[in-house]
Structure 1
Amino acid sequence: MRFLHTSDWHLGRHLHGLSLHGAHQAFIDHLVEVARVERVDAVLIAGDLYDRAVPPPDAVGLWDQAQTRLVLEAETQVVVIAGNHDSPARLGVSSRLLERAGVHVRVGTGAVGTPVLFNDGTSKVACYPIPFLEPAAAMADWGIEDRSHAAALQAAMGRVRPDLAARSGYRSVVMAHAFVSGGQGCDTERDISVGGVQHVPGGVFGGVDYVALGHLHGRQRLADGLRYSGSPLAFSFSEATHVKSSYLVDLGPDGLGHVKEIPAPVPRRMARISGTVEELLNSPAFSEYEQCWVEATLTDAARPVSPHERLKHRFPYLLKLVIPSLTAEVGYRDLAVLDQMSPVEVALDFVTEVRGRPADVDEIALLNRAFDELRRVEATR
């Protein structure tokens, strides 16, 4: 039995204002082709199908296209769970009808413990989808007392294990959307902590042949049968070093077989570079990044003039410009301090903060003349 493990598509997401619709389309084309060529029995999407609870129309259109093509062109089934970015009510629309077409959408606590069954005559697999569980909902629906993600998933697995134990000869897959201890996050995953507690120990899933995890955007193996596929696209420069892919998972009568990484298409390389404006503009060391999506951090001692416009000439795909604070001793003033400063002092403080060095003698004189003129005009009104 063969499964393709993916997660965290985040349809509808932008990258620093840039639409990723075309990149998502390329990923869907790739996914359908892989599922068709590899004769995949089911594509597993472990949560965060959409980027937000109310997805834009073009994102809904991509999902409609993806599920239709996977079923009709690749002749495979699809199992998808709600993640913390998804709206269970919206994602679950028409789920009972979709089930009959081979698209199994699971949201909320109601169907936890009820598997999607696969049987190809040689292998039998029970796939248990566990959508993202808000601890408050698990407490209300299942009567658990501990308000944590670990307690919610332990309760969910308490519904999975009795069902699996009653299914003779079945191997097992669990899908979950959670932060499992030992996983490495990045800055694009929304915090799901409850009272500071969000991590779930991997032992919660003990006894399962393969756990298809979602939530963390970097592909990672916590154990042979416990893996994050990661997101198919990079959604920030914190993911610049990620290798995006899906996992092709083989399960046989004896359990977990081969797990293969299937690289995802890369719309454009991402790069983080740093240096002075002149270094970034002229050094041949940065030539390889000219066609990348770029985050540039400036190291100039003083704030340069029009750095973004200048750098765009060499790096047309510059998406983010970082200009660190250049003076540690200058910071935001509270209102009490500002009330005690003259207008010229406030203006000089602003110049230092923005430019990274104080105004010179000529600039101080110019500011004094400007404020003198303002006071003169104000007095004649």
Structure 2
Amino acid sequence: MVVGALTASPCAVSAQNLPPRTATSADYQLEVQTIARGLENPWGLAFLPDGRALVTERPGRLRVVGRDGRLSAPVKGSPEVHAVGQGGLLGIALDPRFVENRLVYLSFAERRGSDTNSTSVFRGRLNVDATALENGRIIYRQQPAFASRLHFGSRIVFDRTGHLFVTSGDRFSQIQEAQNPANTIGKIVRITTDGAPAGAGAADWRPEIWSIGHRNMQGAALNPATGELWISNHGPRGGDGLYVVRAGRNYGWPLISWGTHYDGRPVNGGLRERQGLEQPLTYWTPSIAPSGLTFYTGDLFPAWRGNVFSGALAGQMLVRISLDGDRVTGQERLLTDLGKRFRDVQQGPDGALWLLTDSPDGELLRVAPAGR
């Protein structure tokens, strides 16, 4: 039963009457249920306290998914996005005090001039009917803006102190700027809920910068055991990586890479390691295009507790990564038979894994052990 009155759009429909699909893993027989379909390139997923979900659609719509899978009309008051190339409405996070303040944070591509744009963060208060964001305003803008259709990032994650991490890309045409601490191109920034700098990086960096040397980060999650930020980063042609991101560190792009440029040229002469530059915990060549990241802490999959999961776009899979502290001990590639591009993965309040598929007719999927 849906909490609150929702109106489905003509193309966005509940799909819970569709028969579930099955899949196998090393530990479980899996059941994959389509909860909703008709989402246009869904990008980010966050669960409300009552079990409903908020989903961003890249063209610029925010939807509420009812517990019966029905989708609402677009939530009013969302920011105006620049939906070009990889840009649009992207990441989403609820304030840790959402029950009290109902604040929602959205990252998006913002038009900044006649042909320039940037990654920005918007904050608004979701009304009690979940039909509108009220008192919305932009609290952060990547600096500077460029004319680009690519590499916006962007995930947003709260840390344990209530500050907000924002991942951003190198804009594709500005790769050298990822090493320039005078701007926020190819950086992770840390800000307060009002947008004030809280970076804790090096003394000569912009005060909002947390780390530098990133390419295009579309997965980010807080490790529940340590409170540290983990991210997945798109490499060029190969060299996608999983990283622990610490304040003041340099993650190497484009000085080092485990991939090559798209035309086959080596990156910086083929250099893969250099003193003072951070290495991934694991990397993927060929590229899987990782997107979405979550640590599993639930009860439905006890054998997977403490694992981290990444969606994959080009790889069309869900990757399960087993860990011993910060050391990767194994990987399993799941749901490869579905032929889906997985844009986001989150642990739901029910302990299942919930995924968004990247498609003009995108789906919200629930993955659980068979019969659960």
Same fold (TM over 0.5): no
Q: TM-score if structure 1 supplies the norm length?
A: 0.26
Highest CA radius of gyration, 1 or 2? 1
Which one has a larger percent helix, Structure 1 or Structure 2? Answer: 1
**Could you state the TM-score of these two structures normalised by the residue count of structure 2?**
0.26
